[in-house]
Amino acid sequence: MPLTFARTGEPAAIRKIGGKEDVRQFLEKLGFVSGAVVTVISTTGGNLIVNVKDARIAIGKDMANRIMI
């Protein structure tokens, strides 16, 4: 399921990153790689603030839909 459906505060493992190659590389540079644990901190209008690899990152709904957990 996409990251947008994750519950706030519950850690989840990333299973797959979708999208074009440049989008996948961008997300990998931010720390979104298969096997990494991600936790949704808050959701505002579909946009997410997530904790991944000890860093808080804000991502849009379209990017979050490409991250499968």
Rounded CA separation 22/1 (Å) = 22
pLDDT at position 67: 95
Alpha helices in 6-60 (DSSP H): 21-30
pTM of the model: 0.89
Q: Return the H-helix or E-strand segment holding 58.
A: strand 55-59
Region of residue 45 (phi > 0: left; psi between -120 and 50: alpha; otherwise: beta): left
Superfamily of chain region 3-68:
Ferrous iron transport protein A (FeoA) (2.30.30.90)
Q: How is the chain split into domains, by residue range?
A: 3-68
39-65 pLDDT, tens digit each: 999 999 889 999 999 999 999 999 999
User: Does position 38 have pLDDT exceeding 90, yes or no?
Assistant: yes
Give mean pLDDT, residues 14-37.
94
